[in-house]
Structure 1
Amino acid sequence: MIIVPTTQCQPGMRIGKAILSEQGRVMIGYGVELTQFMIRKLVLMGLDFLYIEDRETDDITIEESIHEETRALLRIVLSKIFSKFSATSSLHGSSNTAEISTLLFEGITRVIEDMRKGRHNLVSLTTLNMVPATTLEQHFCQNAIHVCVYATKLGMLHGYSQKELTELGLGALLHDVGNIQLPAKLLLSRTKLTASEFVEIQKHTELGFHMLKEDMGIPLLTAICALQHHERINGSGYPHNLQGTQIHEYARWIGMLDSYDAMTHPRAYRNSIAPHYALEILYANAGTLFDIKKVTEFRNKVAIFPVGQGVKLSTGELGVVCRHNTHIPSRPVVRVLTNERGEKIKSPFEIDLSSSLHVMIDLI
């Protein structure tokens, strides 16, 4: 199986993994043959990549960070939170906080269990074949799950205890919960925010803190993550212009990861950027906006080119990432499938980019 940019897919290719809506419903099932109409539709929907069946890569196993059942449970509880607390909900929804709290702890416990069973000691990108968020609720759920996955895995690799992983995971999952009490038109605006609109947006940190502290029955540190995730170590963040270690360690992780996720996923007002460029931006701001030790740890542990990802090399050859080098995750092993003229190679071969330093990945 190979991960292919949707714009490069051809009619007749078969789906290697079901395409899901943001709600987790199957839109196109496994093994379905793509048509030109389907490809155009998926491009218009903003789906950047597809899992495609491929004989030359059928031995490559693409391992998800968490099980789909776990992801579905997180979507359920996040939807309940949105329904109960959003600015447009009536009588604050029908779910009680005890039910929501129980589901939150169950969800985070499953995330931790899934990741402990994973084979790789790397932070992997989240699901690629999912329709991008278009509504405030979809954006809230998608961003929450992405940041939760990154943060929990990094916390695990960092050596946090079960209790600490639960606190960090919940903080990551709920870091932007205050946004759901803001007007959707403000958060989904396609134009640059005015000064007064930006002040309004900034209120989501304190709104989230009070929601979590007073209503949700979860650890105080989770609420502090919601309050502090936009603080920056040079004091330029908000709401309290905290500096350095005045910002809780969990919030420093989450602030960095939230920024990375924002850059690598499209927003109403801009397109996404490639993961390796986003990582460069994080590193350029390490020591000023972000904790340099945490950026370095993320850089050393994130698999920015996931197994199965189709890539173009600086040699002009096309291939697929077949495995990671845990000591240099940004330099994977690539199975070369076509030559520089785009012709299929009769005997595909593998190139280890950790030892072939003159070869670069030019294009995802």
Structure 2
Amino acid sequence: MLTILVAFVIIGLINLSYYLGFFKFAFAPTDSFPSSKNLPVSVIICAKNEAENLRNFLPLILSQDHPNFEVVVINDASTDDTLEVLEEFEAANPKVKIVNVQNNEAFWANKKYALTLGIKKAKKPYLLFTDADCRPESDRWLQEMSAHFEEQKSIVLGYGGYLINTRSPLNKLIRFETLFTAIQYFSYASWGKPYMGVGRNLAYTSEEFYRQNGFANHLHVKAGDDDLFVNGAANKLNTALCLSPGGITRSVPKEDLKSWFQQKRRHVSIATHYKLEHKFLLGVFYTSQLIFWILFFVLLFSTYWQVALIFLAIRWIVQGTVFYNSGKKFGETDLFWVFPFLELFLIWAQLGIFIANTISKPIHWK
């Protein structure tokens, strides 16, 4: 049992070192940039069967407080009224530009092909990406994100959260997983090792897109238009972080556990294509999380149970500090009170996702 205790302490210290590393991001000040920059921006949205969401959320994007932008919406071979809804918006607002992908074109790498057509249609040099089911948190979202572009900064990572339903345990789980992921990719970027971003709130220049030959390096992967692009293009010099409360978007979350599980299977499958350094660091973190809890429960029924509880208490204090301060940045502080339960559930869910992906491949992009 002493050997197990030693292993528990070593694994615990490895895991704890990550959380201590997250302090840099957790205690980073939120920012707000003045509106005087006014860079020319193309907002790009890829929509597949999103008629209702476009009716609800596109007006919020069109009403952004910014003097120089357009909204390029790609209808990716939808079978509902998406195209008709977009044509109504286009007729009413000259900022709206439509790219219509036909059914016979849909096999060309799916969403990446559609996005490439949208980027080629864009007239502005700064590209801001979001989804059709996303709601900007404020009318300054476009300003706050685009203000981070500078001479060397060609990629801007933003927070893409989910709409809040305090009565739903699943909603809390989805938002916790999203916050947890954001803490990691913001932290890695602050360490000079950016590895991903989310298409719900991501910006980069058209120059950067063409410098990377678009999505050519991972065109064989059906998904990953956001995180794989960032994984290949981002570095410590060209990547900026938007931590402004006004620079947040929130999406419509899944309404049942099965749909969320399938969504996460797709996301996890993309991570296998990350750079080796990122896969190693992420793998060590998740493995240390899992082994920590396994050894904790073993020691809980041994003579070393007090040591295990003391170490867990220390870990919770450090974790709680990270989650609370990070949650404050993004309006997710209600998750702080239940993070120990959500973390445990998420760890076992991730193990289930890994096993499921090992057995069969997940389905991508609608």
More helix by share: 2
Q: Which has the higher contact order (CA 8 A, sep 6+)?
A: 2
TM-score scaled by structure 2?
0.27
Q: Please, what TM-score do these two structures have when normalized by structure 1? A: 0.27
